[in-house]
Structure 1
Amino acid sequence: MRAHAGDRLLTHGRTVGHRDRVGEIVEVLGPDGQPPYRVRFEDGHETVMSPGPDSVVQGEAEPGESLSG
C-alpha cells in the first residue's frame, strides 16, 4: 500500500451495521509512501494508523473529478 498526503483512505466496516469510514491522509510517516499514515476522519478525529487489508487508498482527485470512480 502506497499513499501521498491528500489521498483518501477508505476503511470498510468489518461487521454488519458498521459503516465504511473515509479519512484524508494528512501525513505519510513511512518510507516511499508506506504506512503508517496520519489520517483525519470526517468527524475531525486524527490518528496514526497502519491500514489492514480492509482498507483502500484512493488517489487525490483532480479539481472537478470524483474519487468514487
Structure 2
Amino acid sequence: MEAHTGDRLLTHGRTVGQPDRVAEIIEIRGPQGTPPYRLRYADGHESLTYPGPDSVVQHGGGAEKPEPR
C-alpha cells in the first residue's frame, strides 16, 4: 500500500450495518508512502493507523473540483 499526503483512506465496515469510514491522510510515517499513516476524520478526530486488508487508498484526495466558467 502506497499513499501520499492528501489522499483518502477508505476502511470498509467489518460487520453488517457498520458504515465505511473515510479519513484524510495528513502524514505519512513510513518510508516511500508506506504505513503507518496519521489520519483525520470528518469529525476532527485524528489517529495513527496501520491499515488492514479492509482498507483502500483513494488517490487525489477525493472528487475533482469543477472548472470555473
Q: TM-score, normalised by structure 2?
A: 0.87
Q: TM-score, normalised by structure 1?
A: 0.87
Q: How does 1:1-69 map to 2 (within 5 A)?
A: 1-61=1-61, 63-64=64-65
Counterpart code for 2:27: E
Shift of 1:63: 4.6
1:13 is paired with a residue whose SS is coil
- Unmatched 5+ residue regions in structure 1? none
Larger Rg: 2
1:18-67 per-position Cα deviation (integer Å, ceiling 9, x unaligned)? 100000000000000000000001111100000000000001157527xx
- Unmatched 5+ residue regions in structure 2? none
Shift of 1:11: 0.2
TM-align CA RMSD: 1.5
Paired residues, number: 65
Query: What is the rounded CA distance, in whole Å, between the counterparts of 2:64 and 2:43 in structure 1?
Result: 23
- Following TM superposition, the consecutive aligned residue runs of length 4 or more in structure 1 with deviations greater than 6 angstroms are none
